[in-house]
Amino acid sequence: MEQLSEKKFPVNAKDYKLYEEVGDGVSATVYRALCIPLNEIVAIKVLDLEKCNNDLDGIRREVQTMILIDHANVLRAHCSFTAGHSLWVVMPFMAGGSCLHIMKSSYPDGFEEPVIATLLREVLKALVYIHYHGHIHRDVKAGNILIDSDGAVKLADFGVAACMFDTGDRQRSRNTFVGTPCWMAPEVMQQLHGYDFKADIWSFGITALELAHGHAPFSKYPPMKVLLMTLQNAPPGLDYERDKRFSKSFKEMVAACLVKDPKKRPSSEKLLKHPFFKQARSNDYLARSILDGLPPLGDRFRMLKAKEADYLLQNKAMYEDKDHLSQ
């Protein structure tokens, strides 16, 4: 389909050997794989085109976005091609996995503040680049922040990224409803006036809370309830009492992002100058702080899948018991 980087990655499924699963979504599975001709470990995202409602337009836009990317903090694809009813997207393998998986397996209550500052600074550098090039990411969250074995941080998943240069109009606002409700900006939910780059700043603020607590605000509620709470309640934030372990500057940075009026939120460039990021450290520090001693990504993913399956079974048993009692 498209060739995206200097090194020639083959565009044929037979040139890759799929190993274990390292991630999944509604219509995609991510594998660790070997690119046989180059003898290089890669990640391959296999999208089921039938489950994507054959949204070839969206896929074309995704590939177009991937071609334009060239930044140290954004996950770039090597190439993509179709194989049967699937689209294969070949990407660098990020051995640390996502911040979400790292929290789920080892940091259920969130990370320490210097770790959060370091992760968020790298994500913000990615957003500055993405926004400058006329894109909105639209799905900023811990699950899309990937870490390599050396502590390098990359923002992933342009599955829902929107190119605002389609008509050459920088000021154009999007009107489509995409993203994950817990991280979604109020103006994206309302669908009244469209939205712009500032929608990512709201999601960035929610992601900061997610990294601080181990979960996003409202994450235990169903999507419709999340929509209502986001629109009707005061914005979430770091509580001065409950969150004593976090600095005033962290609380202020989050509050600046989570303002309901998008015009009052800072741009990614302005936010990068916030005093909170002065405590950000090196990639090496991240690798030592949160990756040391973690099992390999495939093992962690398998353990998390097993945990989820157990949880679903317990819930099913609980509902069946209730059902039995009510008869």
Give yes or no for residue 306 having a pLDDT over 50. yes
The predicted model gives 21-43 an average pLDDT of 91
- Mind listing the domains of the chain with CATH numbers? 15-92 (3.30.200.20), 97-291 (1.10.510.10)
List the one residue out of 72, 86, 94 whose CA is nearest residue 143: 94
Span 40-70, pLDDT tens digits: 999 998 888 777 655 667 676 666 677 668 8
Contact 214, 110 (CB under 8 A): yes
The span from the CA of 63 to the CA of 300, in Å, is 29
Say if residue 7 carries a ligand binding annotation.
no
The span from the CA of 27 to the CA of 302, in Å, is 19
| pLDDT above 70: percentage of residues in the chain | 82
List the one residue out of 160, 156, 179, 246 whose CA is nearest residue 209: 246
Q: How many Cα atoms occupy the beta-carbon half-sphere of 170 within 13 Å?
A: 4
The span from the CA of 91 to the CA of 84, in Å, is 19
pLDDT band at 322 (very low <50, low <70, confident <90, very high): low
Burial class from Cβ neighbours inside 10 Å (0-12, 13-18, 19+) for residue 261 reads: exposed
Give yes or no for residue 326 having a pLDDT over 70. no
Which is more confidently placed, 164 or 76?
A: 76
Give yes or no for residue 129 having a pLDDT over 80. yes
C-alpha 61: how far from chain center? 18
Give the per-residue pLDDT at 324: 54
Span 248-272, pLDDT tens digits: 999 999 999 999 999 999 999 999 9
Structure tokens at 320: 């069946």
Span 143-189, pLDDT tens digits: 999 999 999 999 987 544 433 333 333 333 444 444 568 999 998 88
Give the per-residue pLDDT at 312: 81
Give yes or no for residue 3 having a pLDDT over 60. no
Q: How far is the CA of 293 from the CAs of 100, 101, 134, 157, in angstroms? A: 17, 15, 39, 27
Give the per-residue pLDDT at 63: 67
Average pLDDT, the chain: 86
Cβ density class 207-246: b for 16+ within 10 Å, e for less = bbbbbbbbbbbbbeeeeeebbebbeeeebbbbeeeebeeb
Give the per-residue pLDDT at 98: 94
Give the per-residue pLDDT at 76: 87
Give the per-residue pLDDT at 268: 98
Give the per-residue pLDDT at 272: 98
Positions marked active-site: 139
Span 209-250, pLDDT tens digits: 999 999 999 999 988 899 999 999 999 999 888 899 999 999
Q: How far is the CA of 155 from the CAs of 13, 181, 277, in angstroms? A: 26, 19, 18
